Amino acid sequence: MSANEHPGIAGTVRGRLIRGFGATALGPVVTAIIQLGTVPLLLHAWGAAKYGDWLLLSAVPSCLGLSDLGFGTASGSDMTMRVAAGDREGALRTFQSSWVLLTSVSIAMLLLASATAWWIPWQLWLKLASVSSMQAASIMIILGAYVIVGQQNNVAESGYRCDGNFATGIFWLTTLRLVEALLATMVALIGGSLLSVALTYLAIRSVGSLAYSLFLRHKSPWLHFGLRHARLQRAKQMAAPALGFMAIPMGDAVTLQGFTVMIGVLLGPVAVVVFSTLRTLSRINFQLMVVVAHALWPELSAAFGAGKISFARRLHRHAIQVALGFSALGGLLLWVMGPFLYHVWIRNAVSFGAACFHVLLLAAIANSLWYTSSMVPMSTNAHHRIAFAYLAGTLISLGIGYLLIHPLGIVGAALALLFVHASMSWLVLKTALRQVQDTLMEFVVAMFTLSPIGRAWRRASEA
C-alpha cells in the first residue's frame, strides 16, 4: 500500500485534499453570496426594523441545533478512523447508533418547543417591531423544524466523510444552502411575509435533505439508515466526545445568537443590524480559514486511524502556516477597505461603526488561528477540554459584553468577543501540539520557514 493512501478509504490523500479544498472553498463563496447578497435585498424588501425582527426570530430556534448532542459530528471522526483501519462494520454501527439517538432527541425537543412557544410574550421580550407574539411563535416553530431537518444531514455527511467522499458531501450541502437562500429571498422580494420565508426555507431543506440521504446510499451502499446495527453501548462510548462537540455549537450560539439577542434587548433592532453586518464583513477572513480546517479534518482522522502521526504533524504545521498568512493579509485588507466595502454593500441603510469593526477583525483573526488548530483534537474526538473551555469562555464573554455595552455600545460587545477568541488560541495550540507530538520551538520555526504553499501541501500529502 502506498504511503499516500489510507486502508479502506477510496483515492489518495493528495486527491482527496484537492477535492476537499475545492468543495470547502465553495462554502465561503456561497456564504458571501448569502450574507452579502441577501442582506441588502432583505433590507430593501422589509426595512431595517423588520429585518432586525427576522434576525432575532431566526436566532432563537438555532438553539435547537444543540439537540443533536454532538453525535452527528462525533460520528464523522469515529467512522473515518474506523474505515481507515478497515472496520466498516464498526463504522456502520456508529452511523446507525448516532442517527437513532439524534432523531429521537431532536423530535422530542421540537415537540417541547412547539408546546411552549405559544405562551411566551416574544414581542415584549425581544422588542419586535413588525410581528405579534403569536406570529413570532409560528415563525420560530417553522424555523425550529428547519433546524431539526438539517440535523439529519449531519449524520449523512459523516457517511460521505468516512468513505472518501467528503468533497461530494460538502458540495451538495453547500448547493442546498444556496438554493434555499435564493428562493427564500425571492419570496421576500415579491412581498412574502416572515412566515412565508420561513416556510420556504423548511420546504427546500426537507426536499434537499431527502435527496442527500438517497445519494449517500448510492455512493456507499454499505451505509444505510436503520435500527439493526444501532447499539446503546456504542452511543455510550461516544457520549464524551459528542458532548464536547455539543459544547462548541453552544459556544457559537452564545457568540452569535446570544450577542444578537442581548444587543437587541439592550439597544434595539437597528443596533442588531449594524452589529450583525459588521461582524459578517469582518468574518470573511474566517470563512477562508474554514476551507483549510474542514478539508483537513477527514484526512487528520484517517491519519490518526492509520497510525501516521508524522503525517498529521506536517498537516497541522502547514495548515497553521496558511492560516497565519491569510489571516494577517486578509485582516489588513479588510481594515483598509472595510468602510468602502460596507458602503457598497449596505449603502445608507445603517451607519458604519469603524471602532466596532476593527475590534471584530482582531477577534476574527484569533478565531481563525485557534479554529484551524482545533481540527487536530476534533479529528480524533479528543477535544473535550477545549470545547468546554470555549463554552465557559463564551458565557464569561457574554457577561463582559453586558457590562461593556452600557458605556461603549456595540464596541463593548466586540471587545467581549475578542476576549474569548484570544484566550482560546493558546489553549488549543498546546493541545494540538501535544497530540501530534510536536514541540513549541520546532512548531514556531516551521511557521516562519517560508516555502511555496503548493510545495508545502505536496510534502504534507506524503505520509
Q: Which residue has the cell 464523522?
A: 76
Residue 80 C-alpha cell reads as 473515518
Cβ(312)–Cβ(80) below 8 Å: no
End-to-end Cα, the chain, rounded Å = 12
Q: Which residue has the cell 493528495?
A: 14
C-alpha span between 61 and 422 (Å, rounded): 28
Residue 165 C-alpha cell reads as 467522499
> Dihedral, CA atoms, 5, 7, 8, 14, nearest 10 degrees?
-10
When divided into structural domains, the chain yields a total of 1
Total residues belonging to the chain: 463
Tell me, yes or no, whether 3 lies in a domain: no
C-alpha pair distances (Å), 20 with each of 134, 170, 223? 44, 8, 21
C-alpha pair distances (Å), 241 with each of 268, 279, 281, 358? 38, 30, 32, 35
Q: What's the confidence (pLDDT) of residue 289?
A: 80
Tell me, yes or no, whether 455 lies in a domain: yes
C-alpha span between 6 and 12 (Å, rounded): 8
Residue 359 belongs to domain spanning? 13-460
Cβ(26)–Cβ(174) below 8 Å: yes
> Dihedral, CA atoms, 307, 156, 288, 396, nearest 10 degrees?
-90
Q: What's the confidence (pLDDT) of residue 460?
A: 47
Q: What's the confidence (pLDDT) of residue 135?
A: 94
Q: What's the confidence (pLDDT) of residue 69?
A: 60
Tell me, yes or no, whether 242 lies in a domain: yes
Q: What is the largest CA-CA distance in the chain?
A: 65
C-alpha span between 102 and 109 (Å, rounded): 11
Of 460, 450, 431, 457, nearest to 325 (Cα)? 450
Tell me, yes or no, whether 408 lies in a domain: yes
Q: What's the confidence (pLDDT) of residue 377?
A: 92
Tell me, yes or no, whether 123 lies in a domain: yes
Of 210, 241, 61, 70, nearest to 148 (Cα)? 61
Q: What's the confidence (pLDDT) of residue 456?
A: 46
State which residues of the chain have pLDDT below 70: 1-13, 63-70, 450-463
Tell me, yes or no, whether 6 lies in a domain: no
Tell me, yes or no, whether 313 lies in a domain: yes
Q: What is the pLDDT of residues 401-418, one digit of tens each?
A: 999 998 898 899 999 999
Q: What's the confidence (pLDDT) of residue 298?
A: 87
Quickly count: other Cβ atoms within 10 Å of residue 347's Cβ.
Answer: 11
b/e burial code for range 412-430 (CB count within 10 A of at least 16 → b): bbbbbbbbbbbbbbebbbe
Q: What's the confidence (pLDDT) of residue 1?
A: 40
